[in-house]
Amino acid sequence: MINSKVEAALNEQINAEFWSAYLYLSMANYFNSIGLSGFANWMEVQFEEEVFHARKFMSYLNERGGRVLLKPIEEVQTEWEGTLNVFEDTLAHEEKVTSLVNNLMDIAIKEGDHATKSFLQWFIDEQVEEEANVSEILDSLRLINGEGHGLFMMDKEMKARAFVAPAE
């Protein structure tokens, strides 16, 4: 049986993961609205990843005898000042998610929940990768000032990304 403090924190994270998915779906639709279907595709893959994360948390909580309590998803941003601004927001968001996952680990450690600590290690590693991927895109966007032929080329590259569920 899972500790009640850990259970509550995992339920909060489930909501945060679905909110993240909703944010990335909003970003995808923003990109579609300005004719950048490759960037839209990249964000749609992010959406799929966040849903996968939420489902992974739900499965774990159920496996440990906890109860998943879904809460309303708060409104997300729908407008940005351009591609560079979207990816600046994306990096800030991924950094926030990293802090949320780190806080979950702190709770698991404090509560002596070794199973949850083991489970969360995957998410800690995932966040390192997420931040690195977004930082790399942001660096490229800064090099081209988020516009011109470089943006066109990046958009073409972004179309190639596809969601592949990570091996568990």
65: left (phi over 0), alpha (psi -120 to 50) or beta: left
Q: In the predicted model, is pLDDT for residue 153 greater than 90?
A: yes
Per-residue model confidence (pLDDT) at position 166: 79
- Per residue in 63-105, pLDDT (tens digit) is 999 999 999 999 999 999 999 999 999 999 999 999 999 999 9
Nearest to 81 by CA among 21, 34, 44, 46: 34
What's the pLDDT at 168?
A: 64
Q: What is the pLDDT of residue 1?
A: 85
Q: What is the pTM of this model?
A: 0.94
pLDDT digits (tens, 9 = 90+) for 107-135: 999 999 999 999 999 999 999 999 999 99
CB within 8 Å of 19: residues ≥ 6 apart: 73, 74, 76
What rounded mean pLDDT belongs to the chain? 96
Nearest to 78 by CA among 125, 138, 33, 123: 33
Maximum pairwise Cα distance, the chain: 56
H/E segment holding residue 60: helix 37-63
pLDDT above 80: residue 26: yes
Are the beta carbons of 131 and 69 closer than 8 angstroms?
Answer: no
Task: Report the topology of domain 4-158.
Answer: Ferritin (1.20.1260)
* 154: Cβ contacts below 8 Å, ≥ 6 apart: 38, 39, 137, 140, 141, 144
pLDDT more than 90, % of the chain: 95
